[in-house]
Amino acid sequence: MRKLWRHAQLTTLAGDAPWGRLADGALLTSGERIAWIGRDADLPRHLDVDAEHDLEGALVTPGFVDCHTHLVYGGARDDEFEARLHGASYAEIARQGGGILATVRATRQASDESLFASARRRALALLTEGVTTLEIKSGYGLTLADEARCLRVARRLGRELPLTVVSTYLGAHALPPEFAGCPDDYIAAVCAWLPALHAEGLVDAVDAFCETIGFSRDQTRRVFDAARTLGLPVKLHAEQLSHQNGAALAAQYGALSCDHLEYLDAAGIQAMAAAGTVAVLLPGAFYFLRETQPPPIAALRAAGVPLAVATDHNPGSSPLLSLLLALNLACTLFRLTPEEAVRGATVHAARALGLADRGILAVGRRADFAVWTLDHPRELTYWIGGCRPSRVIAGGQEVNRHALIATGSSLSA
């Protein structure tokens, strides 16, 4: 199926021109890929196409990539939000058995079907804003069976929704109660489970939470060694609440990304730059936890570390289901430029997932794009709410979001 999209203001993000903009552009898709892109006036004559769409000057961007989410879980943590408003801290709540472990209890109790239905609703909220690629981490099961269940839900979302889902094993997210006092034994179990999860095709990458309330550098290293044995790429929740030297360790393993990074130091930045590791900025968690130390953006920029932006959707530190709001927060709180923020949720986010076939609009890339009735792409970072693409195309196919939402509500009722 060859489809021609004409008279678009293309924001290709390709090349060195600001935004890779092409006024009055055209784009030809062939199956899942972009077959031609350029100025409408330069379209080859006598093109053989199955369908032609006139976009009447609308803005077209690459589909968004949300490269860090914890989308599959049971329950919610609005009670902790309220407790924090009364003075409790995120780390205190975690030490008292709440936090991640509260969600672990709810996730273990939830049926496969309810985990799927709630994650599907969340995925559709992101898709509605133009997200066409989504990373989903496990980490709320913390037994082999429950981690596998959550990863299977992620895979099923990728099969049943018009989205690419990348799944990340985050067994080293928190210490489950059955291993209380024995974190090294738990890490041994996390490593022992990985081959079975991988053999079932459930794992694209391996992550860990390197933090005082998570796992140490040495424990993180053991998880990374297990990943390396299987040839799986790694990434890390690093330097979120304190400086642990996790980013430098992850860079030694050629990590795809280090994420959060509020307490990253100069050595970590250099290690990431040398390894080509992407810095994934998560302003939703920074905002929701009322953190005060932003990541060292200027130094990361100066070192040439690619900056990505993601929602970090999870029930504890970032119950955020809007990548567009994450872009606005990245600009207001972290001082990214609008173009940096948009590149951070497209081309650099794709790189954080090891995906070289998307994130820009260019011949041969996936035909994932969103159409917006906006005049300039920086508006994507400017409006706070209310901005939705008029059309979303994933793998060359137009996504019928209303039909998907209607089907889901009857299934999950």
Tokens 């280090």 correspond to 258
CB 401: neighbour CB atoms within 10 A? Answer: 17
Residue with tokens 């472990």: 101
Task: Please list every residue from 305 through 344 that binds Fe ion, using CB under 5 A.
Answer: 312
- Residue whose tokens read 């690419």: 164
Assess contact for 345 and 327: CB atoms under 8 A.
yes
Q: Residue 96 has what DSSP assignment?
A: T
Q: Alpha-carbon distance 398 to 374, whole Å?
A: 19
Q: CA 309, 312, 316, 322 torsion: positive or negative?
A: positive
Tell whether residue 312 is a contact of ligand NIG (CB under 6 A): yes
**Residue 211 touches Fe ion, criterion: CB under 5 A:** no
Which CB, 5 or 224, lies closer to ligand NIG?
A: 224
Q: Which does 240 bind (CB under 5 to 8 A by kind): ligand NIG, Fe ion, none?
A: ligand NIG
112: number of Cβ within 10 Å:
12
Q: If binding means CB under 5 A, how many residues of this protein chain bind Fe ion?
A: 1
Q: Contacts with ligand NIG in 242-301 (CB under 6 A)?
A: 285
User: Binding to ligand NIG by residue 319, rule CB under 6 A?
Assistant: no
Residue with tokens 């889902």: 165
- Selection from Fe ion, ligand NIG, none that 313 binds (CB < 5 to 8 A by kind) is none
Please report whether residue 209 would count as binding ligand NIG according to CB under 6 A. Answer: yes
Question: What distances in angstroms separate CA 219 from CA 24, 171, 191, 213, one per listed residue?
Answer: 54, 12, 10, 13
- Residue 329 vs 387, nearer CB to ligand NIG: 329
Q: Is 321 in the site for ligand NIG (CB under 6 A)?
A: no
- Residues 95-124: x where in contact with ligand NIG by CB under 6 A, - otherwise, as a string: ----xx--x---------------------
Binding mask 62-101 for ligand NIG (x = CB under 6 A): --------x----------------------------xx-
Confirm or reject binding of residue 316 to ligand NIG (CB under 6 A).
Answer: yes
In whole angstroms, the minimum distance from the beta carbon of 283 to ligand NIG comes to 12
Residue 346 CA to residue 356 CA, distance in Å, equals 11
Cβ(236)–Cβ(214) below 8 Å: no
In whole angstroms, what is the distance from residue 320 CA to residue 220 CA?
27
Binding site for Fe ion (CB under 5 A): 312
Binding site for ligand NIG (CB under 6 A): 70, 99-100, 103, 209, 237, 240, 285, 312, 314-318
